[in-house]
Structure 1
Amino acid sequence: MKEITSTMAGTVLNVLVNAGDSITEGQEVLMLESMKMEIPVESNVAGTVTEVKVSIGDFVNEGDVLLVLE
């Protein structure tokens, strides 16, 4: 099991993947808004999304788990 975590505090603007999706290393998986800037979150590993832990509008802190991969 691999996890993608938030690199900063912010609000989830968009979730670009769903459970069951195969993703590649470097793929944008989520968009955060922080300090009125849109910040893409990229996967640091390849795998299949097993769980999306956040929804649009959720506030996340640095280190929070966003996605779980297998």
Structure 2
Amino acid sequence: MNQVVASMAGSVWKIVVQEGETVSNGQDIVILESMKMEIPIAAEVDGVVKELKVSEGDFVNEGDVIAVIE
């Protein structure tokens, strides 16, 4: 199990994947918006998105868990 975490604080602008979807290392999971910049947050392993912990519009802090990949 691998947790995808926010690299900085910001709002969840767009969720790119769905639960149950197979992802590859480096594939974008969500796009955060911070200070009018879009920051992609990518998977760090190959696997299946087991759980998304955020919704579009949510605010996350640096280190918050965004998704779980198995």
Tell me the equivalent position of 2:27: 27
Mapped partners of 2:43, 2:69: distance in 1: 10
Tell me, which stretches of 5 or more residues in structure 1 are unaligned? none
CA apart distance, 1:46 = 1.0
CA apart distance, 1:14 = 0.4
Q: Which runs of 4+ in 1 moved over 6 A?
A: none
Secondary structure of 1:41's aligned partner? strand
CA apart distance, 1:51 = 0.3
CA apart distance, 1:45 = 1.1
Mapped partners of 1:24, 1:18: distance in 2: 13
2:62 is the alignment partner of 1:62: yes
Mapped partners of 2:5, 2:49: distance in 1: 13
Percent identity between the two aligned chains: 51
TM-score normalised by structure 2 residue count: 0.96
1:11-56 deviation per Cα after TM superposition (whole angstroms, max 9, x unaligned): 0000001110000000011100001111111111111001000000
TM-score normalised by structure 1 residue count: 0.96
Mapped partners of 2:32, 2:25: distance in 1: 18
Tell me, which stretches of 5 or more residues in structure 2 are unaligned? none
Mapped partners of 1:42, 1:23: distance in 2: 9
